[in-house]
Amino acid sequence: MYDYDLYQASERSGDQCVQVIRNVTSYIEQAITGKLTPDDKYYVYQIFGGRDLPANDFMNYIADAVAGAI
Query: Rounded mean pLDDT of 24-53?
Result: 95
Per-residue pLDDT averaged across 32-37, rounded? 96
Asked if pLDDT for residue 3 goes beyond 90, the answer is no
Q: Where are the domains of the chain?
A: 2-69
The alpha-helical segments, DSSP class H, found in 1-70 are: 2-11, 15-32, 38-48, 55-69
Residue 2 pLDDT grade (very low, low, confident, very high; cuts 50, 70, 90): confident
- How far is 27 from 58, CA to CA, in rounded Å? 13
Q: How many angstroms separate the CA atoms of 51 and 58, rounded?
A: 8
The answer to whether 70 touches 9, Cβ cutoff 8 Å, is yes
Whether the predicted pLDDT of 15 surpasses 90: no
Model's pTM, two decimal places? 0.86
Q: Helix 15-32 and helix 55-69: axis angle, to 10°?
A: 160
- Which whole number is the average pLDDT over 39-64? 94
